[in-house]
Amino acid sequence: MGGRHVDALDALPDAKIGAADAAYLEKHKIDQLFAELLEHLLRARPTFPVQFMVDALQHGCELAQQDPLTGMTGIRRNKLTDVFDAIDQAKTGKIRFSDIEAFVNKHNVETLSTSELRQIFDDVDTRQDSLITIDEFLGFFGKVSQRLSNAAFDNMVQQMLQ
């Protein structure tokens, strides 16, 4: 058994560890990063603060802003808007059941029957006018995706757009 035993290693003095830690924090401007993140967090007071911090670090504070009603971030809203636009081929700003059927057929989604697809459509169509607006679409998927990690959310969107 080669190598040194952990107990035999010389311990670094606390002052040396503290200096190394301070140098690392200074080099990467971690204190400034946390101060800015905390400032934005307290200003925004998001519904889901941990998700806000993750999104702020990954995408910037502007896209991390959460809708006060749904908690959905700007980055997720943008991605779901892309899905809505892909379904709304006529660019009317409203999705009909036939648009959903065409989208599902185009993307070879065979896991849902017509009646299951109709049930989902009716769940999304909260105004019950046989048309889904962007707000209804975002409201539905905001709830559905609320607890998804960013990776799982991105995977869901990617599957919808394939």
**pLDDT cut 90: percent of the chain above it:** 54
88 against 70, higher pLDDT: 88
Q: Which tens digit of pLDDT belongs to each residue from 35-65? A: 999 999 999 999 889 989 999 999 999 889 9
- State yes or no: pLDDT of 106 exceeds 60: yes
**pLDDT cut 70: percent of the chain above it:** 90
- State yes or no: pLDDT of 70 exceeds 80: no
Taking residues 78-91, report their average pLDDT: 94
- Report the SS3 class of residue 3: coil
**Residue 2: both structure tokens together:** 């080669």
Return the pLDDT at 17. 80
Question: Which region among 8-17, 72-81, 92-101, 140-149 has the lowest average model confidence (pLDDT)?
Answer: 8-17
**Cβ proximity of 161 and 86 under 8 Å:** yes
Q: Which tens digit of pLDDT belongs to each residue from 117-162? A: 999 999 999 999 999 999 999 989 888 888 888 899 999 899 888 8
Q: Among 31, 32, 51, which residue's Cα sits nearest to residue 41?
A: 51
Return the pLDDT at 3. 55
CA distance linking residue 58 with residue 52, whole number of Å: 10
The secondary structure of the chain in percent helix, strand, coil, rounded to multiples of 5, reads 65, 5, 30
Instruction: Indicate the burial class of 107 (C-beta count within 10 angstroms; 0-12, 13-18, 19 or more).
Output: middle
Domains of the chain: 71-161 (1.10.238.10)
Return the pLDDT at 108. 67
**Residue 93: both structure tokens together:** 């700003």
**Whole-prediction pTM value?**
0.73
Alpha helices per DSSP H over the chain: 14-27, 30-44, 49-59, 61-64, 74-87, 97-106, 114-124, 134-144, 150-161
CA distance linking residue 63 with residue 59, whole number of Å: 6
Return the pLDDT at 133. 97
Taking residues 9-31, report their average pLDDT: 81
